[in-house]
């Protein structure tokens, strides 16, 4: 990792433009979204995501043939839209992109286009076509959950970008 990247402070939106961040944003790994539930307790939910150039989009179903009951996550996010998101590798040495901000939720009739793109990214063409064909039925509704990060952190244990407590910064 270049010295210039190492000089960018945690919190800088410029970290989104780094090679490590761009690699993680393009990866077929789930994002982990932390939020506060309506009962005031913390939650972490893994979810498919798609980087849409300036926002992380994490669509989810509100109603569909395979969905039973309303989404408690949507109600919680509407009540408290502040979230933290981690997109991180499982191998060692690890890399993690950490995002914070408030989500914006838009309801969509049918399959959200970002969800369809994510399905192809995660499942491949054939798997996505089968899954989307099953889910895209009359009455299907989705919520497009979008995060425009206001704070960005980056950890790269191989590239020398460590948590502040470990790096002496």
Query: What pLDDT shows up at residue 161?
Result: 47
167 part of a folded domain: no
- Taking the C-alpha atoms of residue 154 and residue 105, their distance in angstroms, rounded to an integer, is 26
pTM of the predicted structure, to 2 decimals: 0.86
CATH number at residue 72: 2.30.110.10
Structural domain of residue 64, as residue ranges? 3-155
Residue 166 falls within a domain, yes or no? no
- Counting the structural domains of the chain, the total is 1
The answer to the question of residue 49 being in a domain is yes
Within a domain: 168: no
Q: Is residue 36 part of a domain?
A: yes
- d(Cα 156, Cα 2) in Å, to the nearest integer? 12
CB burial readout 24-46, b (16+ within 10 A) else e:
bbebeebbbbebbeeeeeeeeee
- Section 157-167 average pLDDT: 49
Domain-embedded: residue 114: yes
pLDDT band at 29 (very low <50, low <70, confident <90, very high): very high
Please report which confidence band the pLDDT of residue 2 belongs to, taking 50, 70 and 90 as the band edges: very low
161 belongs to a structural domain: no
110-118 mean pLDDT: 95
Contact 145, 103 (CB under 8 A): yes
Task: Quickly list H helices, the chain.
Answer: 3-7, 19-26, 72-79, 113-135, 164-167
Tokens (6 digits) for 51: 């980087």
80 domain-assigned: yes
If one counts every other C-beta atom within 10 angstroms of the C-beta of residue 121, the result is 15
Whole-angstrom distance, CA of residue 88 vs CA of residue 71: 25
């Amino acid at each position: 990792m270049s010295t210039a990247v190492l000089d960018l402070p945690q919190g800088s939106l410029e970290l989104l433009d780094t090679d490590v961040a761009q690699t993680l944003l393009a990866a077929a790994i789930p994002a982990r979204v932390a939020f506060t539930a309506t009962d005031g307790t913390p939650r972490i939910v893994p979810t498919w995501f798609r980087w849409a150039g300036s926002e992380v989009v994490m669509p989810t179903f509100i109603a569909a043939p395979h969905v039973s009951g309303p989404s408690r996550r949507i109600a919680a996010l509407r009540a408290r839209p502040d979230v933290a998101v981690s997109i991180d590798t499982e191998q060692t040495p690890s890399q993690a992109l950490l995002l914070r901000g408030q989500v914006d939720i838009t309801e969509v009739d049918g399959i959200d286009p970002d969800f369809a793109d994510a399905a192809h990214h995660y499942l491949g063409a054939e798997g996505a076509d089968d899954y989307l064909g099953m889910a895209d039925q009359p009455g299907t509704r989705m919520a497009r959950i979008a995060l425009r990060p206001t704070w960005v952190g980056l950890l790269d244990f191989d590239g020398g970008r460590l948590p502040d407590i470990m790096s002496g910064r």
